[in-house]
């Protein structure tokens, strides 16, 4: 007889499962608690999807405050994000530069009632070929409806079409840290 066969036969003799143990296990299986795992996953997924959709809508329509944190996680400041729908700009070329009218669409909503002055923190002026000007513009007083800020230019604009893009304003009030107001505003300018 081969060794494998001997080992197999030697180990084949085993006692049967005690009947009581068998019955106990079958009874336990019959009375087991139903698993809620699938339901739990479905509910969690639904909640996550709802939260994400909500966040998407929120981001698109309404501005909100965000903390600015340093590398160590300490809050060092505040910004106001996604304010695109809350401000409206129009730009008109003048002799000194470009006059930008900023209208407050939600003047009663924070932070606008508390802002005394508004500056342009980041803008670019482009024509079809290149960037004509970019940088920051000092603050101008903000009224209940808005303000007008002049972007000074070193040389008058030559005829053509330009696009002014502002990505950040900066609101300030006496005794408060300046508040960056972020979004994306564009205005087309035609110089004839």
Residues that bind other proteins (CB under 8 A): 1-4, 6-18, 21-22, 24-26, 28-30, 32, 35, 37
CB of 41 to other proteins, least distance (A): 13
Residue 127: name the closest of 175, 67, 191 by CA.
Answer: 191
- By C-beta, is 10 or 74 nearer to other proteins? 10
Best CA proximity match to 118, nearest among 149, 88, 94: 149
d(CA 98, CA 123): 12
- C-beta closer to other proteins: residue 25 or 45: 25
- Cα separation, 152 vs 89, whole angstroms: 17
Beta carbons within 8 Å of 76's beta carbon, 6+ residues apart? 68, 69, 70
Nearer to other proteins, 39 or 110 (CB): 39
* Minimum distance of other proteins from residue 35's CB (angstroms): 6
Least separation in angstroms between CB 12 and other proteins: 7
Report in angstroms how near the CB of residue 18 gets to other proteins at its nearest. 7
């Amino acid at each position: 007889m081969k060794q494998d066969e001997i080992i197999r036969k030697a180990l084949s003799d085993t006692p049967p499962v005690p009947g009581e143990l068998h019955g106990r296990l079958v009874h336990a299986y019959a009375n087991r608690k139903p698993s809620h795992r699938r339901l739990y996953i479905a509910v969690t997924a639904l909640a996550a999807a709802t939260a994400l959709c909500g966040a998407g809508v929120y981001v698109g329509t309404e501005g909100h405050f965000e903390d600015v944190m340093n590398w160590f996680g300490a809050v060092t400041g505040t910004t106001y994000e996604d304010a695109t729908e809350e401000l409206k700009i129009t730009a008109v070329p003048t002799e000194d530069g470009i006059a930008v009218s900023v209208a407050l669409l939600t003047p009663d909503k924070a932070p606008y009632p508390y802002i005394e002055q508004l500056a342009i923190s980041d803008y670019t002026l482009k024509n079809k070929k290149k960037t004509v000007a970019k940088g920051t513009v000092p603050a101008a007083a903000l009224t209940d409806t808005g303000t007008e800020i002049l972007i000074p230019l070193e040389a008058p604009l030559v005829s053509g079409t330009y696009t002014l893009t502002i990505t950040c304003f900066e609101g300030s009030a006496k005794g408060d840290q300046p508040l960056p107001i972020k979004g994306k505003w564009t205005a087309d300018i035609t110089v004839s």
